[in-house]
Amino acid sequence: MAVTAHFLDLQGKHQSRLLALRRQLGCHSGENLAVTLGQVVREWKIEDRVGTVISDNASSNYSCLLNYRDLDAEMGPADVRVRRMRCYGHILNLVARAFLYGEDFEAFEAESQKGPVGKLHNVVKFIRSSPQRCELFKRISRENDEAQEYLLASESTAELEVVMNNDTRWNSTYLMISRALVKQGDIRAFLVHPEVEKWLPEADMLKGDDWRLLTEIKHILEPFYLQTMRTQGWGSEGGNGRLWEVMTGMEYLLEHLEDRKLFYHVVPDEAAGENTNSQVELARGRPDRNRQIPARFRDCEMDIHPRKSMQNSLPSRGSGQCDDGSGKPSGSSAVDDMGKDHRRYLRLSIITAWQKLNEYYTKLGESPLFAASIILNPSLGMSYLEVNWASEEQLVWVRDAKIGLSDYLDRWYRCNRPVD
């Protein structure tokens, strides 16, 4: 177990220090994790200084925190929920994996091996598993590069290698696809080489429809990758890892998934065999969504607008967004050329990812600190909530955001002065 402390020093500067890296004995149950965490907290004598705890979304982590009452008798279950900060990077990982693999990982993985991502994985593995094939691929890349007479505004990609993905990091699949699109011409030339056609199974040959689907997958996953890169470091200059970016980032990604799903409209004969919930969501033109901050506002829907402060880390979402450099928009025209099985695959993948993201967006309502991070941000503040939550129902959100922050400060931080 790694325990890292984030705190302000005597000069008010943010500091982060690794307090312990302990071997966790026994099963990783909440009770066992609590014992190890409690030992570290007591050794550093910071029992009364723990503000929040950041961890991934495993259920054992929550049951671990329920034992925090052993360190602070005033801490009840509701207080634990308020102080638990879910790791945003882990949420992004879960959502992206839901898009790529679905809820039933094994069944979806077996099916996906037949699709473009599985084919690309097999092609990359085929290239990288032999020094001779690696050299053949590099030679083909150099020949293609030399055949380009005019490269005035672009760098040579001849020496770039294909990237292999792995099971533990979803973004390795994104990077594999992204690099493959850059090297698409070289891979196509490699696949038609006589030696390759002799040894690579026909089922692994990437066709035009496969490349179109890979391009769409790359565009859908790109904002998740950029969000991961933006928020994985230490917070600086008001962003890049600050708490306020969680809510605004998740709002953007929810809207992004809804916008992308609009391209994959329902064609009646294509919807056959899909579950009822999916058909209802698709018929409405976008997934049925209740964004909830806090949880008691489940019947309200909020208007979401991209944040200006986020634009430098988020790609444009217009229908004119281009693919691998061909100049063809990644919009409805590209989708119309796509086979119905691929459209159905993207449709269901987007809905699965949206459902997972909305699940964790809803859980933000368990703590007032996410809304508080926006209120206390000088560039956003209460005016941000008042502008974005302007309807009659949403004004209740603003009121409760104020009350939630005030109650939290009253309970834990304001001194109890005697009344004169």
Flag whether pLDDT at 332 surpasses 70.
Answer: no
Q: What gap in Å lies between CA 403 and CA 392, rounded to an integer? A: 17
Report the alpha-carbon distance of residue 17 to residue 287 in Å, rounded.
Answer: 42
Locate 387 and state its tokens. Answer: 């502008």
Least confident span in 165-174, 368-377, 383-392? 383-392
pLDDT digit string, tens, across residues 99-129: 988 876 565 555 556 688 999 999 999 999 9
DSSP state of 239: B
Residue 222 tokens read as: 């790109």
Q: Give the confidence band of 156 by pLDDT, cuts at 50, 70, 90.
A: confident
The full DSSP string for 367-392 is -THHHHHHHT-TTTHHHHHHHHS-SH
pLDDT at position 61 over 90: no
At residue 102, the 3 state secondary structure works out as coil
Task: Give the Cα separation of 37 and 42 in Å (integer).
Answer: 9
- The amino acid occupying position 205 is M
Q: What pLDDT is stored for residue 319 in this prediction?
A: 34
Q: How many CB atoms lie within 10 A of CB 410?
A: 10
Residue 191 has pLDDT above 90, yes or no: yes
pLDDT of residue 134 exceeding 90, the answer is yes
Q: What is the tens place of the pLDDT at every residue in 275-313?
A: 545 444 443 433 333 444 333 333 433 333 333 333 344
Residue 34 neighbours by CB under 8 Å, 6+ apart:
63, 64, 65, 66, 67, 68, 70
**What is the tens place of the pLDDT at every residue in 198-244?**
888 999 999 988 999 999 999 999 999 999 988 876 666 656 678 89
Whether 419 shows a pLDDT value over 60: the answer reads: no
Sequence spans of domains, the chain: 2-86, 90-366, 369-412
Q: Rg of the chain's alpha carbons, rounded to an integer?
A: 25
Specify the 3-state DSSP secondary structure of 253: helix
Mean pLDDT taken over the chain: 78
